[in-house]
Amino acid sequence: MAEATWGGDSQNPAIDWKMSAALENVVRQQVEVPEVTNLEKAVRAWIALDPTHRQHAVLTPERPVTIDGTMHDSLTADGIALLASKLPQ
């Protein structure tokens, strides 16, 4: 019988950077329109925003994302910044 292993990667599955994601509450061309793209591009678009828009942005991935053992259905400012620190090079 195999034993379960807890900790390590079991609490932090790999992030699927290609899943769909929406970056919302960001004004584009004077209109608030969500940007729907993949997770990696949405996070990179968030990085390019000015600080005020970063604070108001909401990132909603297609599926929950696990960061440091916690699942997130959507992320805002500090959560997106933490996700950005894990972007692939």
The domain spans of the chain are: 16-84
**Averaged over 83-89, what is the pLDDT?**
94
Long-range CB contacts for residues 81-88, cutoff 8 Å, separation at least 24: 81/54, 83/15, 83/43, 83/59, 84/43, 84/46, 84/47, 86/15, 87/17, 87/40, 87/43, 87/44, 88/17, 88/40
Please, are residues 61 and 20 in contact by the beta-carbon 8 Å criterion?
yes
| Per-residue pLDDT tens over the stretch 12-63 | 789 999 999 999 988 766 666 677 899 999 999 999 998 988 999 999 999 9
pLDDT at 33: 63
CA pseudo-torsion sign 46, 48, 53, 54: positive
The verdict on pTM exceeding 0.85 is no
